[in-house]
Amino acid sequence: MKTFNSRPKHHRSTGRITLNDVAQAAGVSPSTVSRALRGERAVDPDLVQRVLAVSEKLGYVPDPAARALASQRSDHVTILIPMLTNALFVDLLEAAQRSLRAAGFQTLMGVTHYNTSEEEQLLREQLHHRPAGMLITGLDHSPSTQKLMARSKVPCVHLMDLPEELGPISSGDAERDAMPNGPYCVGFRQIDAGEAMTNHLLAKGKKRIVFAAAQLDPRVMQRLQGWRKALKARQMYDPTLEWLNPAPSSLALGGLMLEQIMKQNAAVDAIFFCNDDLAQGALLAAMRLGISVPQQVAIAGFNDLTGSDQMWPPLTTVRTPRAQVGEAAAQMLLQLIHGETPEHPQLDLGFEIVVRQST
């Protein structure tokens, strides 16, 4: 009779404490341990207590790989953001990650560089890990990306944007039929924010308000739409006041744009930059060039990034709720993962115009 020295022929040693160990120590079957540990109902409360205690005592930690293999679902959540050089997305990432981690999920970050094919590639790689859910910036994705997402059946929440306001439900809309609640998303109305800031500038008596933008991603273009809308409403729209530069946003570019704008059109009395880094760069350049802000030209930004309140003069900007977006999106995703239905599939967290001395 073989005893402790007997081993299966192909034994591969691994020191790990397994679910089986817990089951033996607790005197129940592995199935029961599995159910108890995952909080599945339909387990005797006394057994749950016993299993929990034994598991705690042995220091048992479930193996994520085994769990993922057996259940076809990992504890990973994918988050796709465009850029790490824009502080906006760093804040978003940190907030989302904090909430997800608290719920026991690992965050897998991907940086798309505002490139839809990079996005698709990242998504494809991540999907191989069978994520439990995904958080994706924006609502604009290539058709094949959308197909990938749909086919994967992985719950998904979109960040920082909301779909256009929908008219009354019309049947026969293929997209809406496929997703009866619309895409899940948490953000705010970029177009409204663009319009609101423009209205602020108009209220300050500005007559020639430039919209100066870089990167030109979809959300920037929506802010542009808001600017257009406000100006058109007063018959003040002039396409030569649009300065659109596809280069990445940066302090240096903001300075350059200010210089070019003022050189070409001295009558400009306000510039609305699509992001704070551009506006901060413009403020710094104004100092260098001896342009007085806001007397000669008012400067406004977007996002209220770090440092905007420290500028001289302090920057008027739109405060966007990215930390709240990150957290709320994580919570919504957790609901979806647990099979619940979010109360507000499209969650609007709003924005705030922060008036400082630069306008």
Q: Are 158 and 336 in contact (CB under 8 A)?
A: no
Shortest Å, Cβ 123 to a second copy: 13
Shortest Å, Cβ 69 to DNA: 4
Pick from 17, 103, 108, 244: which binds a second copy (CB under 8 A)?
A: 108
128 is an interface residue for a second copy by CB under 8 A: yes
Sole window of 36-44, 209-217, 301-309, 345-353 interacting with a second copy (rule: CB under 8 A): 301-309
Half-sphere exposure for 273 (CA within 13 Å, toward CB): 36
34 is an interface residue for a second copy by CB under 8 A: no
In this complex, which beta carbon is closest to DNA, that of residue 10 or of residue 153? 10
310 is an interface residue for a second copy by CB under 8 A: yes
**Partner in contact with 307, chosen from a second copy, DNA, none, beta carbon below 5 to 8 Å by kind:** a second copy
249 is an interface residue for a second copy by CB under 8 A: no
Q: Are 186 and 212 in contact (CB under 8 A)?
A: no
Sole window of 47-55, 88-96, 154-162, 205-213 interacting with a second copy (rule: CB under 8 A): 88-96
- Non-local (6+) Cβ contacts of 81 within 8 A are 89, 92, 93, 109, 110, 111, 112, 137, 159
106 is an interface residue for a second copy by CB under 8 A: yes
Which residues lie near DNA (CB under 7 A)? 8-12, 14, 16, 18-20, 28-32, 34-35, 37-38, 41-44, 47, 60-63, 66-67, 69-72
Pick from 137, 199, 280, 358: which binds a second copy (CB under 8 A)?
A: 280
Report CA torsion sign: 159, 165, 169, 174.
Answer: negative
Which SS3 state, helix, strand or coil, does residue 101 take?
helix
Shortest Å, Cβ 161 to a second copy: 22
**Partner in contact with 106, chosen from a second copy, DNA, none, beta carbon below 5 to 8 Å by kind:** a second copy
* Phi, psi angles (nearest 5°) of residue 186: -130, 125
**Partner in contact with 38, chosen from DNA, a second copy, none, beta carbon below 5 to 8 Å by kind:** DNA
Q: Which of 58, 11, 68 lies closest to 33, judged by CA?
A: 58
Q: Which of 255, 316, 253, 264 lies closest to 289, judged by CA?
A: 255
* Phi, psi angles (nearest 5°) of residue 341: -110, 120
**Partner in contact with 35, chosen from DNA, a second copy, none, beta carbon below 5 to 8 Å by kind:** DNA
Neighbours of 76 (CB within 10 A): 19
Shortest Å, Cβ 327 to DNA: 27
Shortest Å, Cβ 8 to DNA: 2
Neighbours of 260 (CB within 10 A): 13
Does residue 236 come out as left (phi exceeding 0), alpha (psi in the -120 to 50 range) or beta?
alpha
In this complex, which beta carbon is closest to DNA, that of residue 231 or of residue 336? 336
Pick from 42, 65, 169, 178: which binds a second copy (CB under 8 A)?
A: 65
Q: Which residues of 206-216 are buried (b: 16+ CB within 10 A; e: fewer)?
A: bebbbbbbbbb
Half-sphere exposure for 235 (CA within 13 Å, toward CB): 0
Sole window of 67-75, 140-148, 261-269, 290-298 interacting with a second copy (rule: CB under 8 A): 67-75
Distance from C-alpha of 120 to C-alpha of 147, rounded to nearest angstrom: 10
Shortest Å, Cβ 108 to a second copy: 6
Report CA torsion sign: 227, 228, 234, 236.
Answer: positive
Which residues of the chain form contacts with a second copy (CB under 8 A)?
12, 14, 61, 63-66, 68-69, 72, 74, 84-85, 90, 93-94, 97, 101, 106-109, 111, 125, 128-130, 250-252, 255, 280-281, 284-285, 287-288, 306-307, 309-312
